[in-house]
Structure 1
Amino acid sequence: MPSTPPPARSLPRAALAMSADAAAAVLGAESLAALAGLCDLAPLPVLDDFTTHRARTTLADVELLITGWGCPPVDAAVLKAAPRLRAVVHTAGTVRGHLTEACWERGIRVSSAAAANALPVAEYTVAMVLLSGKHVLERSRAFRADKVRGNWLGTSTEVGNYGRTVGILSASMIGRRVIELLLPYDLPLLLHDPYVSDAEADALGVRPVGLAELFTRSDVVSVHTPLLPATRGLVSGELLAAMRPDSVLINTSRGAVVDQDALTALLQQNRIRAILDVTDPEVLPSGHPLWECDNALITPHLAGSQGNEWRRLADLAVGEVARWAAGDGFAHPVEHERLAFLA
C-alpha cells in the first residue's frame, strides 16, 4: 500500500500593519506574493488603525504582524485583541516607535530590517567623507561662479583623502557598516564608543579614543549614535569648537544629538564644515541661519532607504518571515535588553 502523505502544515495567520503609503512603497507585488506563499495573509488594505472593527476582527487570529512605517502602537489593548500574536517582523529600522513594553512582557519575538536600512546610510556617509576630502561642494561652487579651472598644481595640501583621519562616534549598526566600507581606503579610523572594548575595536580595525580626543584628532567626525536621553546634545559646543580648522562634521543620526546652535555659530565663523542629513527640527524653519551657511550641505533625511532600496527591506522581511514560518529563529532579531542602545 502506498504510504499516507503527512497532513499539510497550515500556514500561520499574518497581517500587514503600517501606513498605506509605506506598504505601497516597500511591498511591491512580488513581495506581497512571496509573503502570501509563506503565511495566510489577511486581505488588504493594511491595518493603520487598530481601533476599528475590521482591525479587531483581523487581530483576533493573527500570529504574526508584518509592520512598517506608520504602524500604530502595539499596546496592551492591541495585544488583548490579538491573543495569538507571537511575532513581529518590521520592514523598516527601529521598532521603538510602535512596540511597547507589553510586547516584550508577552515574549513576542521581534525582527527588524535595520541591517538592510543601515547599508544606504553607510554608503551615503562614505560618499560624503570622500567628497568632503576633495572639497567638492566648495570647489564646484567656485568653478560654477568663475568658470576657470585655476592652477591645479597649486592645490592646497589640505585637500585630498590620503591619510585623512576619520572619527566614528558610536559603533552602532550603521557605524560598523561605515567602518567596514572605509577600511580599504587610506584613512586612519578612530572610534569612540564606551560599550566597545579595546579588543573589539582592534577587531573592527579602528583605534578607540575618548570623546574629546575623537573631535580634536579627526579631520572628519561622523555621528552614528542613536538619540537617547543620554545622547541628546552629546556633540556639545565645546567638542565642536575643539575640532580642527576646516574639519567636517557629518550627521546621519538625529539632529538633536548635536548642539545645533553651537554648530551654526562655528559654521558662520567658517571654522568647520558640516554635512547634515538630519536637523532639529526636520525641516528647519525657512529663516534658520543654517540655510545660509555655504559650508554646510543639508540634505532632506535621504541617507536611509529610498526608491529601489526599499526592495532590500522587503527582501529581508520576506526572508525573516520564511525563517519564522519554518520554525527557525530570526536572522535579525531585536533583543529587548539591547533596545535602549539601538536607534
Structure 2
Amino acid sequence: MTSTTSTQTRGVWLPYPADEIDGLPDGLSYHFWDGAGDYPTDPAECAFYVVPYLAGAEAAVRPFAAMTRVQVVQTLTAGTDDVEASLGELPAGARLCNARGVHEASTAELALTLILASLRGVPEFVRGQDKEEWRSGFYPALADKSVLIVGYGSIGAAIEDRLAPFECARVARVARSARATARGPVHTLGDLPALLPEADVVVLSTPLNPSTRGLVDAEFLAAMRDGALLVNVARGGVVDTGALLAELESGRLRAALDVTDPEPLPAGHPLWRAPHALVSPHVGGSTSAFLPRAKRLLAAQLNRFATGEPLHNVVRTAG
C-alpha cells in the first residue's frame, strides 16, 4: 500500500461520524456504520474497516466476505479473538490491528476496583445496606499481599502501575516469553506452578488464544493458595468455569470476574450466586476514558494509512 492507492480502494468505514473525529486525513472517503442496518456503501469499496465497538461478534464480521479489497481491519478492542476466527474471509495481505493504548487505563482501573472491592467486602456492605444491616468486621487489605499478573502486556503493565501505591509485598509477572523490565523479571507460563502458591491475588489480563484458552483449569486453581483471589479482566474462555465453581463452592478460593464463560452470563447460572464471587458485566473498557482514546487511535492509524506509513498494533495478516 502506498499513498497512490486508487480512489476505488480509499473507502473507510467508521463506527462514529467522521466529523466527530479530529485530525482525520483528507483524501479518504468516510462512511458511518455502527454494525446495525444496511451497509453504508458497497463493502467491496472499503479499504479500511473499523469494527464497531460492542456491536457483537456476528455484526463485526458480517461484511468480511464482501470486503474483497479491504487492506486494514481495525478493532477497538484489545483482544481480537472474535474477529480472528473469520480472518480467512479477508483478502490475502489484509492487516488486523488491535486497540493497544485504548483500554489500558479503564481496564487497569477496573482490575484494582475488583481487587479492592472483593478484599474489603464491598459486596457484603451493599447487601447489608439493602437490608439496613450494619455488617462491620475485620477485612483483608491489599497492603502486604503478593500479586501475580498473568498476561503482562500493556494492560498487565498498567495494572502494576496502579498497584504501586498499595504497598504490596510482591508483584510477579507472567507472559508468553521471559524478559526483564524496570520493575523486575517477567516469567513464562511454564513458571506458573512455582508462582501460584505464593500469590494472594492472581490477576488475569492475557489475550485469549490457543495457549491460554482454559489455562485456568482445575490444576491451575488447585495450585493457588487457600483463600486466594482470582481476578479476571481478560476473557471468560481463559478460565474453566466448572473448575472455578467447584473451588468457589468449596469456599477455598474467591473470584472477581469482569468476563465469564458463557457471556453474557445467563439468568440462573450458578456463578451469579456462587459464594465469594463478584461479577461485573464485561465493563473493563467501556468507560468515559474509551472514546477519546479510540478517536485518537483512529486518527493516527488513518493518517499512517493515507501516507503509506507502517501501521501500529498489527497483530495478524490474512493469507
TM-score (norm 2): 0.78
Q: 1:38 aligns with which of 8, 22, 26?
A: 26
In structure 2, what is the equivalent of residue 192 of structure 1? 174
Indicate if the aligned counterparts of 1:111 and 1:320 stay in contact, CA closer than 8 A: no
In structure 2, what is the equivalent of residue 87 of structure 1? 72
SS at match of 1:115: coil
Output the amino acid matched with 1:192: V
Instruction: Judging by fraction of residues, say which structure has more helix.
Output: 1
**2:300 matches 1:316:** no
Q: 1:64 aligns with which of 44, 48, 56?
A: 48
**CA gap 1:43/1:140 in 2 versus in 1, 3 angstroms:** closer
**2:242 matches 1:228:** no
**CA gap 1:185/1:29 in 2 versus in 1, 3 angstroms:** same
**2:242 matches 1:270:** no
The Cα offsets for residues 185-228 of structure 1, whole Å up to 9 and x where unpaired, read as 3121012334123xx2x434356372123321111101122222
**CA gap 1:317/1:260 in 2 versus in 1, 3 angstroms:** same
In structure 2, what is the equivalent of residue 334 of structure 1? 314
SS at match of 2:172: strand
**CA gap 1:161/1:44 in 2 versus in 1, 3 angstroms:** closer
Output the amino acid matched with 2:285: G
SS at match of 1:302: coil
What is the distance in 1 between the residues matched to 2:32 and 2:315?
A: 30
Indicate if the aligned counterparts of 1:14 and 1:39 stay in contact, CA closer than 8 A: no
**2:239 matches 1:258:** yes
**2:125 matches 1:135:** no
Q: Which moved more, 1:66-75 or 1:259-268?
A: 66-75
Q: 2:225 aligns with which of 244, 268, 278?
A: 244
**2:266 matches 1:285:** yes
In structure 1, what is the equivalent of residue 184 of structure 2? 205
What is the distance in 1 between the residues matched to 2:37 and 2:128?
A: 51
What is the distance in 2 between the residues matched to 1:259 and 1:94?
A: 19
Q: How many residues align?
A: 303
Indicate if the aligned counterparts of 1:68 and 1:92 stay in contact, CA closer than 8 A: no
Output the amino acid matched with 1:134: R
**CA gap 1:322/1:277 in 2 versus in 1, 3 angstroms:** same
**CA gap 1:335/1:265 in 2 versus in 1, 3 angstroms:** closer
What is the distance in 2 between the residues matched to 1:138 and 1:48?
A: 40
The Cα offsets for residues 130-182 of structure 1, whole Å up to 9 and x where unpaired, read as 333333333554576574475x7xx36xx212221111112133222212332
Name stretches of at least 5 consecutive residues in structure 1 with no aligned partner.
Answer: 1-9, 18-22
What is the distance in 1 between the residues matched to 2:36 and 2:130?
A: 48
The Cα offsets for residues 303-336 of structure 1, whole Å up to 9 and x where unpaired, read as 1234562332122111221233234333x23143
Q: Which moved more, 1:137-146 or 1:105-114?
A: 137-146
User: How big is the alpha-carbon RMSD for the aligned residues of Structure 1 and Structure 2?
Assistant: 3.5
Alpha-carbon deviation of 1:276? 0.8
Indicate if the aligned counterparts of 2:152 and 2:173 stay in contact, CA closer than 8 A: yes
In structure 2, what is the equivalent of residue 20 of structure 1? none
Indicate if the aligned counterparts of 2:151 and 2:206 stay in contact, CA closer than 8 A: yes
Indicate if the aligned counterparts of 1:31 and 1:315 stay in contact, CA closer than 8 A: no
Output the amino acid matched with 1:108: A
The Cα offsets for residues 36-95 of structure 1, whole Å up to 9 and x where unpaired, read as x53432444567799x7x743x634x44333334332675x535x42xx44344333344
Output the amino acid matched with 1:203: A
What is the distance in 1 between the residues matched to 2:206 and 2:81?
A: 15
**CA gap 1:293/1:48 in 2 versus in 1, 3 angstroms:** closer
Indicate if the aligned counterparts of 1:74 and 1:98 stay in contact, CA closer than 8 A: no
What is the distance in 1 between the residues matched to 2:44 and 2:118?
A: 50
Q: Give the 5 Å matches for 1:118-197.
A: 118-139=104-125, 141-142=127-128, 147-148=133-134, 150=136, 155=138, 159-187=140-168, 188-197=170-179
What is the distance in 2 between the residues matched to 1:276 and 1:163?
A: 22
What is the distance in 2 between the residues matched to 1:43 and 1:194?
A: 38
Indicate if the aligned counterparts of 1:73 and 1:97 stay in contact, CA closer than 8 A: no
Alpha-carbon deviation of 1:110? 4.5
Q: Which entry has the higher C-alpha Rg, 1 or 2?
A: 1
Output the amino acid matched with 1:90: T
Name stretches of at least 5 consecutive residues in structure 2 with no aligned partner.
Answer: 1-5, 54-58
In structure 1, what is the equivalent of residue 286 of structure 2? 305
**CA gap 1:296/1:185 in 2 versus in 1, 3 angstroms:** same
